[in-house]
Structure 1
Amino acid sequence: MPRRKVAIVVQVSGLILVIFTLFWRTPPGELLGNFHRWNPSVTETPIDGTNDSSTVLSQSSVQSQIRAILDPETRDVPRLKCPSPRMSRYGYLSAKDDRSVKGVRYFFALNLRNCLPLLPTLLGSIVEAIRLLGPKHCALSIVEGNSPDGTAEVLSALERELGDWTTTHFVLSNDLDPLQQDRFPRLAQLRNMALAPMLQAPDQYDNATVIFLNDVAICTEDILELIHQRVFQEADMTCAMDWIGGGGENENDKPAFYDVYIARGINGDTFFEIPPDLSWRLAQNLFWNDAVSQARLRNYHPTQVFACWNGAVAFTAAPVVKRQVSFRGSNIENGECHQGEPELFCKDMWYRGHGRIAVVPSVNLEYSVEKGQYIKAVKGYTSGWTANTSPGERIEAWLPPPDNVKCMPTFDRQTWRPWNETLE
């Protein structure tokens, strides 16, 4: 596949830097503001479509969305074009005909707000994955945030459509507003709410894989590949690669890796270098100071990292249901680096002995249907990179954590800290 080799340059000045850092790696659906009152003792509140926001979708529009979610062949509304998953690669993951499987094997978790155009692609791919994996051994947990665009109405209708086909947990009532100062602890609470049903019945989920998805344009094969690589690599957590930019009128424009604020290589450094002038002129040179990881990335082979999220992850539920690990904010009072809740989640996974964390470069995502289609054209579909590998390129040696990890509360404040600071 031809790939343009032109660096992008984005200059960020002081004030813009501060504002941008506050919202970095936060697509609209993850800024879950304007919540209803939430009773902490309630972990499951079915959506009834009668929240504070006025109904903005007609019944026919809602039904068009539902048809597009439940039937990948429906073209009533725009949906990412995805190939059918190759069950010769993923069939072994299915538990639908395996009576020896007890409890839930796959737990899908999402925080959604104001992302109506993505629902047919995102939820449609999840529904198809659940069909293939076995509905009786899957659970779907969605925390919705009083969306003004009709997202709540669609979710309400979807919950009714799913019925008892698979286990569902739809949560609506909240008063958490992560747009307030220091948003990471609030985002952590919202993520924990999506995982809360597992804690109510830990025996049902102790062998499960959690598939936690942002509001991304994703194919079913992307989801299955993340699960497959977690199993095949015997990994504790696998992450996609997410991208922004590219596809504009400027032919020199090229997509850049998105989640650089969170992601850290196995050497503890950011995925690409952010120089003192704060430009992104080096954004195309991923893993620039780690030759092994860079080679694996260029060959689209999974590679070990210290931390990642990148729009979609699959991780073992065991440390969550054992209450060893949860999402949290930084322990600022004790001097811990101020960082995003997914990076802290990875750090705590390492501390609890679950440091087999890897990115899967064959899974490439964006945050809209249009741009998602562009990313698939530029970076390729998962099946395009895995067709000739069965079952894949194994990570032969899992490394210990780096002594130090780059602390970057803002892009102009970069220091090195012990990976386990405040934990020991």
Structure 2
Amino acid sequence: MRRKLWLLAAPVALSLFLALSLYFGGDQFRRIPLPSFAGDRSISTTNLAQDANITRPDVGNITQAQDAGGIANSSQPLEGHVVKDGIILKAAIITSYVNAIMDSESHKLSRLECPELNSTRYSNLKASDEGSSVEYFFALDLRQCLALLPTLLGSILEAIRFLGPERCALSIVEGHSPDGTYDILAAIKRNVEELGAGYYFHPSRIDTSKGDRIQKLAELRNMALKPLLDQPDRVTNTTTVLFLNDVAICTEDILELLYQRYSIGATMTCAMDWTYAGRDPTFYDVWVARGINGDSFFEIPSDGNWDSAWNLFWNAAETHSRFSRALPFQAFSCWNGAVTFAASLLTKEGLRFRRANREKDECEQGEPQLFCKDMWFRGLGKIAVIPTVNLEYSVEKGKMIKEAKGFVSDHVTKQRQSDERFEWAVQPPARVKCMPTWDHQFWKAWNQSLARRRK
């Protein structure tokens, strides 16, 4: 009997171990594979300000936080700038990271090696007309990702240079980073602004390990968007938000997500993100992502095992066909490490990231999935996954993913633009799989909790 119980429990234990392992390996803001809503089930993290006696800037004053580079113990020049010691990192280390971020050719720190940019393919994305509007708004929530910054921020800034810095803005929310991430993000302010782009840096004290995790994640995402919402006169009908996780990303990945949003007429485009839980890559954002049939990207049975993670879109023939050819396909919801979406969703439609409405028995789900659900409710369900963009959450494994899945340029040179387009489904699936936990899955009407509100 004990042996039988062990055999039944083993898959659940393995899935739990996998999910917790992925979580411990990533930042506090990233989507965790293990759904968790109760505060006592969240993974605890160290509160630096309390436990390490570290003085952080006043987070109530964004300008002060931007200018507070750290404690002035020592300094050295960086292209004419005086770099001070940070809260955690010495000035020399900060200098090396800033140089690596600003110089895409620098190899002094580990970074993802990316192909030369196909400027012809993306030339139409360049902001051609002058003005004060923001055409591209980059938003990030980051924590404890120091080693990733040369790749992540370096690729973002290269994209900003290409698109036109004067029409770009970068907004970053940071929280509780014991590795010096804050020091680097504070130090690059002047460099980014000298490019001509706007830079909004806001350290946050929100601790997602305590209380309502999804509510706090939603608050952090909305916080990153706040500088754009505070300047509605600078938002146009074509302004695009680029919201990135802490991923190993190339400039061509960023531009391809933008390019496809315009090329196929999408309101939102998503990448594909992966993790190496074993020898082979596994699709990561399975808790949030739902196909146009309403189901998860791969099947997770009631015992919680991920044995079918290799079998993506097993019950959606058209989606599977397009995915296998690395062609864009429609989804009910996605995030997958990086997205672009129309800023008008925020400014005209009033969408915000939120938690589930428990009073109306709304499915417990992640804030990105609810964002997509609210898009469909407003008749804006042109949500597409771009499978040429494949991401991971570390430089080392990001290289492995590019070797396994290919770079964007490896795929698009073999594709015709006509093949990239498809017929959009106007109506969402009647029902969408609700997955509060791996072992508790059921189907609900896609608009459950919303239909009764709208007249």
TM-score (norm 1): 0.89
User: For residue 13 of structure 1, what is the aligned residue in structure 2?
Assistant: 12
Letter in 1 for 2:145: C
Asked whether 1:346 is paired with 2:372, we answer yes
Q: CA deviation at 1:106?
A: 0.5
Aligned partners of 2:364 and 2:406: how far apart in 1? 35
User: For residue 6 of structure 1, what is the aligned residue in structure 2?
Assistant: none
Aligned partners of 1:106 and 1:377: how far apart in 2? 29
Aligned partners of 1:171 and 1:228: how far apart in 2? 29
Letter in 2 for 1:49: G
User: Which deviates further from its counterpart, 197-206 or 364-373?
Assistant: 197-206
Could you tell me the percent identity over the aligned residues?
49
Q: Which runs of 5+ in 2 are unaligned?
A: 1-8, 31-44, 50-55, 72-84
Letter in 2 for 1:64: S
User: For residue 443 of structure 2, what is the aligned residue in structure 1?
Assistant: 416
TM-score (norm 2): 0.83
User: For residue 202 of structure 2, what is the aligned residue in structure 1?
Assistant: 171
Letter in 1 for 2:243: F
Q: State the Cα deviation string for residues 231-279 of structure 1 (Å, max 9, x = none).
A: 1011000000001116x6xxxx211100000000000000000023322
Q: Select 1:226's aligned residue among 238, 249, 257.
A: 257
2:176/2:205 contact within 8 Å kept:
no
Aligned partners of 2:402 and 2:396: how far apart in 1? 10
1:33/1:176 contact within 8 Å kept:
no
Q: CA deviation at 1:158?
A: 0.6
The ranges of structure 1 where at least 4 consecutive aligned residues each deviate by more than 4 angstroms after the TM superposition are 21-26, 35-44
2:242/2:338 contact within 8 Å kept:
yes
Query: What SS does structure 2 have at the residue aligned with 1:393?
Result: helix
Query: What SS does structure 1 have at the residue aligned with 2:134?
Result: coil
Q: Select 1:59's aligned residue among 84, 91, 95.
A: 91
Q: How does 1:140-151 map to 2 (within 5 A)?
A: 140-151=170-181
Q: CA deviation at 1:153?
A: 1.2
User: For residue 219 of structure 2, what is the aligned residue in structure 1?
Assistant: 189
Report the aligned-residue RMSD.
Answer: 2.6
Q: CA deviation at 1:48?
A: 1.6
1:89/1:391 contact within 8 Å kept:
no
Cα 1:391–1:402, aligned 2, differ >3 Å: closer, same or farther?
same
2:57/2:68 contact within 8 Å kept:
no
Q: CA deviation at 1:37?
A: 8.8
Aligned length: 406
Asked whether 1:397 is paired with 2:423, we answer yes
Q: State the Cα deviation string for residues 113-142 of structure 1 (Å, max 9, x = none).
A: 110000000000000000000000100000
1:33/1:179 contact within 8 Å kept:
no
User: Which deviates further from its counterpart, 98-107 or 60-69?
Assistant: 98-107
User: For residue 49 of structure 1, what is the aligned residue in structure 2?
Assistant: 69
Query: What SS does structure 2 have at the residue aligned with 1:396?
Result: coil
1:107/1:141 contact within 8 Å kept:
yes
Aligned partners of 1:317 and 1:130: how far apart in 2? 17
Letter in 2 for 1:13: V
Q: Select 1:301's aligned residue among 302, 305, 327.
A: 327
Aligned partners of 1:147 and 1:293: how far apart in 2? 39
Query: What SS does structure 2 have at the residue aligned with 1:241?
Result: strand
Q: State the Cα deviation string for residues 42-62 of structure 1 (Å, max 9, x = none).
A: 6984152339x9733221111
Q: Select 1:208's aligned residue among 214, 234, 239.
A: 239
Letter in 1 for 2:272: M
User: For residue 116 of structure 1, what is the aligned residue in structure 2?
Assistant: 146
Query: What SS does structure 1 have at the residue aligned with 2:200?
Result: strand
Aligned partners of 1:123 and 1:304: how far apart in 2? 29
Q: Select 1:78's aligned residue among 100, 103, 110.
A: 110
Q: Which runs of 5+ in 1 are unaligned?
A: 1-9
Task: Flag the structure with larger Rg.
Answer: 2
| Larger relative contact order (Cα-Cα within 8 Å, sequence gap ≥ 6) | 1
Cα 1:11–1:302, aligned 2, differ >3 Å: closer, same or farther?
farther
